[in-house]
Amino acid sequence: MDLGPTPHPTTHPTTHAGGRRDGDPRPLSPAVRPAPLSGSSDGSRPYTGPTMSRSLIERRLVEANRRLRRAREELAVVDEQLRALVDTAEDSRIRALVSETPLADREHHEAQRHADAMARSRAAVVSSIEQLERAQDELLERLVTESS
């Protein structure tokens, strides 16, 4: 099965010198360079009319909503795992205090490291949710401003 020419091993198939997809290192000429995103004199945007821009924003909103839903589901799982790990760490701490053995102390420290790692993971998921919510708010704002 022939899959066509293989890209040069030092370049990514879609990222080429000069930003061209065909691999030519020369910059795009002004005639083929994409127009700036500023509006034209009639108020429309180049390459996209008002409906295209609106549909793009709507697609991005749907994608942000989907990612936000998955992140919240992941947060619920991480919260459950964190509760279990914190309980385990607390139990091992009590055992270490009662038994006063080096083995019990190591078990406690290991359990506490796991709980701390899960707490950091939870913080990362919460941060991701906050970023997604900000992106969703920005997209909603753009949708409202595009409508008016």
Which of 93, 92, 84 lies closest to 122, judged by CA? 84
Q: Show me where the domains of the chain are located.
A: 68-148
Mean pLDDT of 53-78: 94
pLDDT score at 145:
85
* CA-based nearest residue to 137, from 60, 51, 56: 60
- The answer to whether 129 touches 75, Cβ cutoff 8 Å, is yes
| Mean residue pLDDT across the chain | 77
Q: So what CATH class is 68-148?
A: mainly alpha
pLDDT digits (tens, 9 = 90+) for 22-60: 454 544 444 434 444 444 445 444 444 444 488 888 999
Tokens encoding 32: 């083929």
Task: Tell me the pLDDT tens digit for each residue of 78-108.
Answer: 999 999 999 999 999 999 999 999 999 999 9
Question: pTM surpassing 0.75?
Answer: no
DSSP 64-110: HHHHHHHHHHHHHHHHHHHHHHHHHHHHHHHHHHHH--HHHHHHHHH
Tell me the average pLDDT across 119-136.
96
